[in-house]
C-alpha cells in the first residue's frame, strides 16, 4: 500500500469546497449520533521555545464512508520574527480504519483553513435567514477569505463588508475577491449589520458591540481558540440563539469561555451543539429567532472529514506524490 503525500497546493486543489462542506456537516451528524470518537485535544507545552504542540485524533463513520486521522499542530508566536516561519503549522495523517494503513499525509494548515470555513458554512446554512445576501467580515486575514468562499456555497452572497484595523489587509482582501463580489470597507458596526457575519480576530476584549448587530443577523464567532479570547459583547451571546460546536472545548477556549467562567453565561443560555441541529434534535433558525450565534473552536472530526474529501479527490485525479511510507510485508 502506498501513502499519498499532499503539499499545500495539492490540498488546495483537492479540497473542493462543496464536498468539504457536505463532509463536515456529515461529521457533525456522526458526532451527534454517537458514530464518532474524538478524544480530548492533548498538549505538549514548550515554554523554553514559547510554543506548544497539540494532537487532535478522531474517527467517524457516515452512511457512505468512515475515516480516521490525527492532526499534529503547533503554536509558536515567535516564529515569524525569530525564524521566518508561520506561527501555526499542521500536519494531517489520514488512515484507513480497517487496515490502519496511512492513506495520506497532508498539509494540515491548508486543511484547517478549509474545514474552519466549512464549519461556518454548515452553521450558516442552519441558522441564517434563507435569503441572506450580505456577509460582514470582522478581520481581513486568510481565514476571512475562507469564510467567504465556504459561506458562498450555502447562501447567495452578493455584498461583502470587511472591517480590519489594518488598511493594507483590507486592500489585499478586496483585491482578491472584488471580481466576484461587491466588496466594501467599513467599520465593525457596518460589518455586523449584515445578514451573516464571521469574526476571525484574536482579541481578548470584545470588539463587537451589542447595539450594532442586525436584528436577524447570524454570527459565526471563529476567532476565539484559547482561554481568555473573546470577540463578542456578552449581551450578544445572552440575546442570541447560541449554538456551539463542542461543550467542553467552547467553555474552555471558545467565544463563550470568558462569560462562562465568570458565571455571566451558563448552560441554560446554550441552545444546542451544532450536531444536534444538523440531525434535527434541536431547532435551527425559526421565524421567532432574531440574532443567532455559532461558537466554533474547531474539531478533529472536521479535520478527518476534510481529509477524506482531499484524499478521495487526489486519488481520483492523480494529485500528490505516492510513496511506500510504511512496510506492509508480513
Q: Is 71 assigned a catalytic role?
A: yes
Give the 3-state secondary structure of residue 285. Answer: coil
> How many Å is the maximal CA-CA distance in the chain?
66
Nearest in space to 69 (alpha carbons), one of 37, 110, 44: 37
Residue 138 neighbours by CB under 8 Å, 6+ apart: 163, 164, 188, 191, 192, 197, 198, 199, 200, 201, 207, 208, 231
Contact 141, 168 (CB under 8 A): no
Catalytic residue among 41, 71, 114, 229: 71
Q: Are strands 272-273 and 241-244 parallel, antiparallel or unpaired?
A: parallel
Supply the DSSP string of 195-264, one letter for each residue: SEEEE----SS--B-GGGS-TT-EEEE----STT---B-HHHHHHSEEEES-HHHHHHHSTTHHHHHHTS
H or E stretch covering 75: strand 66-75
Pair 238, 265: CB distance under 8 Å: yes
Cα 263 from chain centroid? 26
The alpha carbon dihedral of 236, 25, 36, 301 has a sign of negative
Q: How far apart are CA 134 and CA 115, in angstroms?
A: 22
3-state secondary structure at position 78 = coil
Catalytic positions = 71
Amino acid at each position: 500500500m502506498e501513502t499519498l503525500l499532499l503539499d499545500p497546493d495539492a490540498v488546495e486543489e483537492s479540497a473542493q469546497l462543496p464536498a468539504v462542506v457536505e463532509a463536515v456537516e456529515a461529521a457533525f451528524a456522526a458526532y451527534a449520533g454517537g458514530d464518532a470518537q474524538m478524544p480530548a485535544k492533548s498538549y505538549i507545552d514548550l515554554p523554553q521555545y514559547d510554543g506548544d504542540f497539540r494532537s487532535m485524533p478522531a474517527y467517524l463513520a457516515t452512511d457512505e464512508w468512515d475515516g480516521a486521522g490525527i492532526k499534529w499542530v503547533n503554536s509558536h508566536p515567535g516564529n515569524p520574527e525569530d525564524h521566518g516561519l508561520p506561527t501555526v503549522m499542521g500536519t494531517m495523517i489520514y488512515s484507513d480504519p480497517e487496515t490502519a494503513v496511512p492513506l495520506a499525509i497532508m498539509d494540515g494548515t491548508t486543511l484547517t483553513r478549509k474545514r474552519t470555513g466549512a464549519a461556518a458554512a454548515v452553521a450558516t446554512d442552519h441558522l441564517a435567514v434563507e435569503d441572506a445576501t450580505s456577509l460582514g467580515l470582522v478581520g481581513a486575514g486568510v481565514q476571512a477569505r475562507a469564510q467567504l468562499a465556504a459561506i458562498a456555497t450555502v447562501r447567495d452572497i452578493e455584498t461583502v463588508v470587511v472591517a480590519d484595523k489594518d488598511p493594507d489587509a483590507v486592500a489585499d482582501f478586496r483585491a482578491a475577491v472584488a471580481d466576484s463580489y461587491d466588496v466594501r470597507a467599513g467599520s465593525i458596526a457596518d460589518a455586523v449589520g449584515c445578514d451573516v457575519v464571521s469574526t476571525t480576530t484574536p482579541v481578548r476584549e470584545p470588539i463587537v458591540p451589542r447595539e450594532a448587530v442586525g436584528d436577524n443577523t447570524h454570527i459565526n464567532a471563529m476567532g476565539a481558540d484559547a482561554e481568555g479570547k473573546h470577540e463578542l459583547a456578552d449581551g450578544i451571546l445572552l440575546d442570541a440563539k447560541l449554538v456551539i460546536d463542542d461543550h467542553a472545548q467552547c467553555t474552555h477556549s471558545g467565544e463563550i469561555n470568558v462569560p462562562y467562567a465568570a458565571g455571566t453565561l451558563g448552560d441554560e443560555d446554550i441552545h444546542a451543539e451544532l450536531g444536534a441541529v444538523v440531525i434535527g434534535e434541536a431547532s435551527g433558525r425559526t421565524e421567532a429567532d432574531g440574532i443567532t450565534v455559532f461558537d466554533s473552536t474547531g474539531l478533529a472530526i472536521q479535520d478527518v472529514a476534510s481529509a477524506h474529501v482531499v484524499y478521495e479527490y487526489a486519488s481520483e485525479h492523480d494529485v500528490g506524490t505516492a510513496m511506500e511510507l510504511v512496510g506492509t510485508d508480513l
